[in-house]
């Protein structure tokens, strides 16, 4: 009896294997196995490429002077030392520089995100004659690099005249009313308020794409409940745009934090962290009173690497905290041309 | 008609139609941007173009401008020994770097699309470049990590390009192809670090393709290969165009770009007008390239709606 069933089951199995269906399943399994294998190999390889520089920084920054000359030290230092960090901190003026950065960054990021959202909404949800042409100009501003207009902008902020009101007053008093805004965070605040901050056009574009995909019923419902366009925007659209907001917030924070071109143009003292990092190498000689000249030569790259780590550390912390929201929101933002 | 009647007729508060109201609110929403556009972009841009026709001196009463015509442009194209050379080499390397960046980001986005174990980890790592690559850090990283071949710890060098070149030549690969592969590999670091935003864009696009398309294709008996070329590729083609254009802009406006460096150096040397001149010529060339690319690729792009 048992023998019979067994032979029967193997027969069924054999039949199953022989049939095209079974072969198809086998093929599919093999394919997905190979696909997964390949995918993991690729990801592991890429992780190496992408993490390598950071690991390299960490490994070098923590080395003691002795290890810098020792060729047998490859990755893990034999003598740990945070001297490089101390020195980098000294030159960067870490605490003060972070404060300078944040004074520019926090208001800028908030203003920029809000204004870009507003403008993006205006482009996405209202019809008016000149909309398409203005949107074309918006795309044009993404393409024009800041470097082409930096000199006139510099002059503008050097003699800031409140959108020509200052000059208008000048017609009557003989002396135009201008203010020097250089070295104040107002340069950034103003640019951001009027949608011309770092990559503002790109964010407007992202928000416009996002709002275009929102269902119109939301607005209609709000209208019936008695909301005007502005309260609809504030009370219905903004709370529903969390995905896009998080994406843009992350970008704005990163790009403001890393910006050094504009900051270096507009600031001569109270320098933000990223600008300090660019002059770290030159300022290395100021360490004369802390370490002797030979050691400076030895420590140069190590201090530079410690400086890099100090600069990106806050960003990495923010990213690790916000990473989940960020990657999830990407799927729902629909930032698609 | 009395005077007050005429007054009323002219200044009567006209009730706006629904359409006009909508248009008005739309304009109100974009107003801040519009002011900024004129005040912080268009006027400075025109001023910048004016600068290129002048010679700027720092006099007693601030900057002094003297009109010199096309002198700055002539200088850039006929006298400056570096400008043309840097410009052409910059455009030349763009021609192969951008396709590689876009292809690579498409590939990564495709690999990261499906659910699999460790997907979150993989994404975290692949978005890493977005965090770091836009600042000074990347410049220092490039110099220190990639340039430290001569240092004692040469075993940590990322890629041994010379070895790869030898292998390729020995295996009979044509020289130009071998050179292309070697160039790409030697810049792999650069390429991967430059594709963060593109990966992001393409991933969003991949997620927006309706699942039903694939289901229908499977019922019709399509293979993975067919699914990719008949569904995925056409569906992401608008984003691919955006990614291509973004890569071009990103490549040209990168601070590490040689022309960009020239612009900054000239500016730091106080030659404002010359710096602006080369920047504007450069920008005009980028614009032309982008228009051509847009025309060529734009024709093949598939829009669903």
Q: How many contacts does A have with B, using Cβ atoms within 8 A?
A: 248
Confidence label for A122 from pLDDT (cuts 50, 70 and 90) = very high
Task: Give the model's confidence band at B55: pLDDT under 50 very low, under 70 low, under 90 confident, else very high.
Answer: confident
- Structure confidence by residue, pLDDT tens digits, B119-142: 778 877 877 777 776 667 777 777
Query: Which of A114, A145, A178 to substitute to test the interface with B, most B CBs within 10 Å?
Result: A145
Of the candidates A276, A273, A262, which has an alpha carbon nearest to the alpha carbon of residue A157? Answer: A262
Closest-CA residue of chain A to B28: A122
User: What predicted TM-score, i.e. pTM, was given to this entire model?
Assistant: 0.81
Q: What is the pLDDT of residues A288-311, one digit of tens each?
A: 666 776 777 777 778 888 888 888
Mean pLDDT score of chain A: 82
CA distance B251 to B240: 16
Chain A residues close to B141, C-beta within 8 Å: 53, 57, 308
**Does the model's ipTM exceed the 0.85 cut?**
no
> Which H helix or E strand runs over B62?
strand B62-67
How far is the C-alpha of B275 from the C-alpha of B164, rounded, in Å? Answer: 40
Q: How far is CA A222 from CA A228, A232, A235, A245, A274, in A?
A: 8, 6, 9, 21, 44
Closest by alpha carbon to A330, among A253, A250, A252?
A: A250
Architecture of the domain delimited by B81-157+188-298:
Orthogonal Bundle (1.10)
The answer, yes or no, to whether residue B6 has pLDDT greater than 70, is no
Q: Which of A34, A149, A273 to mutate to test the interface with B (most CBs of B within 10 A)?
A: A149
Which of A2-6, B155-159, B174-178 has the largest mean confidence? Answer: B174-178
Mean pLDDT computed over A174-199: 89
Instruction: Kindly list the residues from chain B whose CB atom is less than 8 angstroms away from the CB atom of residue A50.
Output: 125-126, 128-129, 192-193
Supply the pLDDT for residue A95.
Answer: 92
| A52 vs B262 pLDDT, higher one | B262
Instruction: Answer yes or no: are the C-beta atoms of A169 and A176 closer than 8 Å.
Output: yes
Q: Do A330 and B204 touch (CB under 8 A)?
A: yes
Tell me the torsion sign for CA atoms A4, A10, A13, A15.
Answer: negative
Closest to A127 in 3D by CA, of B130, B30, B32, B190 = B30
From B128's Cα to the closest Cα of chain A, the distance in A is 8
pLDDT at A133: 92
Domain ranges of chain B: 81-157+188-298
Mean pLDDT, range B38-63, rounded to an integer: 85
């Amino acid at each position: 009896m048992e023998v019979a069933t067994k032979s029967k089951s193997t027969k069924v199995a054999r039949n199953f294997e022989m049939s095209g269906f079974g072969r198809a399943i086998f093929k599919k399994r093999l394919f997905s196995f190979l696909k997964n294998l390949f995918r993991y190999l690729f990801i592991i390889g890429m992780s190496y490429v992408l993490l390598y520089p950071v690991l390299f920084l960490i490994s070098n920054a923590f080395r003691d002077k002795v290890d810098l000359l020792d060729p047998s030290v490859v990755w893990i230092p034999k003598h740990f030392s945070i001297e490089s960090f101390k020195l980098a901190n000294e030159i960067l003026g870490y605490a003060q520089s972070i404060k300078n950065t944040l004074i520019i960054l926090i208001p800028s990021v908030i203003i920029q995100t809000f204004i870009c959202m507003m403008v993006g909404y205006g482009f996405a949800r209202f019809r008016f004659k000149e909309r398409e042409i203005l949107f074309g100009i918006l795309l044009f501003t993404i393409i024009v690099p800041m470097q082409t207009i930096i000199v006139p902008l510099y002059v503008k902020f050097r003699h800031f005249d409140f959108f020509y009101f200052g000059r208008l007053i000048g017609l009557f008093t003989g002396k135009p009313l201008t203010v020097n805004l250089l070295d104040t965070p107002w340069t950034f605040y103003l640019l951001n308020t009027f949608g011309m901050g770092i990559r503002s056009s790109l964010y407007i574009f992202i928000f416009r794409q996002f709002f275009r995909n929102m269902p119109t019923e939301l607005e209609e419902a709000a209208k019936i409940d008695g909301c005007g366009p502005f309260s609809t925007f504030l009370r219905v659209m903004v709370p529903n745009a969390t995905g896009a907001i998080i994406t843009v917030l992350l970008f704005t924070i990163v790009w403001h934090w890393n910006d050094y071109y504009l900051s270096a143009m507009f600031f001569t003292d109270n320098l933000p962290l990223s600008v300090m990092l660019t002059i770290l190498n030159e300022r290395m000689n100021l360490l004369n009173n802390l370490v002797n000249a030979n050691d400076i030569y030895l420590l140069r790259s190590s201090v530079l690497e410690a400086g890099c780590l100090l600069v990106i550390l806050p960003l990495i912390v923010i990213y690790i905290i916000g990473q989940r929201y960020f990657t999830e929101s990407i799927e729902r933002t629909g930032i698609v041309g | 008609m009395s005077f007050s009647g005429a007054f009323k007729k002219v200044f009567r508060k006209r009730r706006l139609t629904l359409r006009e109201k909508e248009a008005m609110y739309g304009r109100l929403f974009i107003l801040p941007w519009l002011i900024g556009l004129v005040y912080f972009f268009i006027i400075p841009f025109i001023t910048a173009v004016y600068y290129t026709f002048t010679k700027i001196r720092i006099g007693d009463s601030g900057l002094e401008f003297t009109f010199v015509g096309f002198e700055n442009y002539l200088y850039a194209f006929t006298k400056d020994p570096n400008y043309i050379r840097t410009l052409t080499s910059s455009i030349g390397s763009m021609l192969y770097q951008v396709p590689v960046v876009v292809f690579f980001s498409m590939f990564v986005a495709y690999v990261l699309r499906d659910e699999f174990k460790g997907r979150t980890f993989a994404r975290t790592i692949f978005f890493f470049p977005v965090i770091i690559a836009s600042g000074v850090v990347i410049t220092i990283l490039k110099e220190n990590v990639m340039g430290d071949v001569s240092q004692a710890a040469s075993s940590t060098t990322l890629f041994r390009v010379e070895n790869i070149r030898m292998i390729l030549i020995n295996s009979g690969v044509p020289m130009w192809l071998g050179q292309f592969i070697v160039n790409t590999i030697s810049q792999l670091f650069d390429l991967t670090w430059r594709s963060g935003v593109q990966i992001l864009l393409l991933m969003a696009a991949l997620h927006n393709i309706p699942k039903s398309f694939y289901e229908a294709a499977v019922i019709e008996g399509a293979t993975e290969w067919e699914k990719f070329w008949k569904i995925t590729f056409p569906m992401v083609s608008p984003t691919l165009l955006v990614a291509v254009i973004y890569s071009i802009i990103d490549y040209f406006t990168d601070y590490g770009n040689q022309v960009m460096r020239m612009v900054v150096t000239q500016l730091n040397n106080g030659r404002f007008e010359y710096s602006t001149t080369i920047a504007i010529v450069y920008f005009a060339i980028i614009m032309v390239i982008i228009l051509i690319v847009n025309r060529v690729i734009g024709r093949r792009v598939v829009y669903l709606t």
